[in-house]
Amino acid sequence: MKAALRWLLLIVAAALTLQVYFVLRIAAMAIIDPQSTTFQRSDAWRLATEPRRALRWRQQWVPYNQISDHLKRAVIASEDDGFVSHDGVDWDALEKAWQRNTRAEEAAARRSQLQRGRTRPPKIVGGSTITQQLAKNLFLSGERTFLRKGQEIVLTFALEAMLSKRRILEIYLNNVEWGEGVFGAEAAAQHYFRHSAARLAPYEAARLAVMLPRPRYFERLPNSAYLSGRAGVIVGRMGDAELP
């Protein structure tokens, strides 16, 4: 019994130590630009270990005021239209995502019974805000478990408590993936449009914003009809997007 209690105390202590580490990292981000994220390091390792593949990496940090307001508005309109007003978590979107995932899993289970297991797993949607996406990219793996989602929400609240909305958006736009080895707004603008992030036009910004859920996919399909059509919709919404 004592041994089990010791192990439990060690686990609790380790969990608390990890949370303190996360909090200290987030506090430092108020003044220090993060040079990489857990997602980026994981992706760099994947690219470096794949056979016969050259490691292509593009990233350049630029300050908030050197990123086009069009891109900021486009990303907010596309990814998180309540960004400036919520506490980091859009609970309504999270509940809707939970309901969609539950229906998708039930449908997949029924198809699996009919087809004797020969079905693809359902596509899982997250309902994540910009702050949640940043929390995940900065610190966490890509696995989808209740434990990881819980940790993501804790980190989200810490980001919102310790950083301004402007700083959160600045870090997000400088680190989010926009293609194979392409990270951040400046690298994306140079890669796709051959000019700086400060010079992005509204439609260019909208195209980049639409790419965010599946950047590698859309990088291979630059002439996608969906990409063009959705970008047009986002351009129409950008005027209503509120900037921090």
Q: Which helix (H) or strand (E) holds 96?
A: helix 91-114
Helix and strand counts by DSSP (H, E) for the chain: 11, 2
What residue spans define the domains of the chain? 39-49+57-86+165-244
Q: Give me the pLDDT at residue 132, please.
A: 94
Query: Nearest 5°: phi and psi at 23?
Result: -65, -45
Spatial contact of 152 and 135, defined as CB atoms under 8 Å apart: yes
More confident call, 41 vs 8: 41
Residue 199 vs residues 45, 59, 176: alpha-carbon distances, Å = 32, 17, 19
Please compute the mean of the pLDDT values over residues 202-218 and round it to a whole number: 95
**Confidence check: pLDDT of 172 > 70:** yes
* Alpha-carbon torsion (221, 222, 223, 225), positive or negative: positive
Single-letter residue type at 239: G
* Alpha-carbon torsion (60, 32, 79, 147), positive or negative: positive
> Could you report how far apart the first and last alpha carbons of the chain are, in Å?
53
pTM of the model: 0.86
pLDDT band at 1 (very low <50, low <70, confident <90, very high): confident
Judged by DSSP in three states, 206 sits in: helix
- The third-level CATH classification (topology) of the domain covering 39-49+57-86+165-244 is Penicillin binding protein transpeptidase fold (1.10.3810)
Burial label, 136 (beta-carbon count in 10 A; 0-12, 13-18, 19+):
buried
* Alpha-carbon torsion (96, 211, 180, 223), positive or negative: positive
